[in-house]
Amino acid sequence: MLDFDLNSNSLNKLGFGLEFPVELSENYSPVLKKYWGDVISDPKEWFLAVQDEAIKIGADFVSVYFNAQEPSDDMKNGLLSKYKRIFKFILDNSKINLMIKLSSNAKWDCEVFCALSEIIDRELIISPIQATNYEKILKVALNSRYKHKFVLRTPIDINLTKELNILSIDSGLKAEQILIDPDMGCIGYGIDYGYSIIERICLARQAGDKMLDMPIIVYAGEESYKAKESKSKDYNASWGELENRAKMWEISTSSALIAAGANIVVCWHPEVLKVIKQQFCEVLCH
């Protein structure tokens, strides 16, 4: 079983994950490249390094982000086989809870999950499940003997969030297996919309709405490093040095979303995760 509590809806039991992408993209932040060093050339070695940092900081899980978009048909089998080899290594060498993070391409995610499901040997967090693929993924996952957690993602709309929760429960998922992903942005890029949706979900659960009474998970790291401010040096000196600016972008995003009511935060930079835990856990995590 997953050995930490993902079912708390209160701020006094925050959860934290540290995430890394399996595929190194061209626009991956130079700040993160510098931090991780040579291990980023090998996803297996990268996982070991991320796991070490996660355990040292006290993260609850490592998120393995299978971020490649759907390849051409003649490349699919090779990529799926590669992913299975990587994940088998991770399963064999993990000392921490794990999340499978998919690409958000609904059709391709079904293929990736079906391939990985053949080697899964424990309870995991599966993310993200969407309205366009939840039936196919749940059909495979619910036939497993493992009671996974599922991150249900809907695009910044409380009604769509509730609808997907209901549909998933009708398909056989238990409410306690659901994590809500409101699909928010980072500071400067739509965080106000995500913030307001999180607030509305929290208010609805407090009013007794059982279909919104699940933990909220946010991907502060992924969203923050999409921002050009966290990747580019092409800014006036008044914006500050890139490394500090990038970390502050993720810290500010994480802090705002926790303040809104998020229960689980997934970060990309270990030093950010460490700061966030220190910032909130002394008061909120006991």
pLDDT value of residue 234: 74
> In this structure, what is the dihedral angle of CA atoms 214, 220, 223, 224, given to the nearest 10 degrees?
160
List the strands of the sheet with 61-65, edge to edge. 178-181, 149-153, 125-129, 97-101, 61-65, 15-21, 264-267, 217-218
From CA 252, how far away is CA 76, in angstroms rounded? Answer: 38
For the chain, 286 residues long, the average pLDDT of each consecutive 10-residue run is: 59 84 92 96 98 97 96 95 98 98 96 97 97 96 93 95 98 96 88 93 95 96 89 72 92 95 97 92 55
List domains and CATH numbers for the chain.
Answer: 11-284 (3.20.20.20)
Nearest Cα to Cα of residue 83 among 64, 63, 99, 61: 64
Nearest Cα to Cα of residue 184 among 115, 231, 254, 116: 254
pLDDT value of residue 283: 55
pLDDT value of residue 7: 62
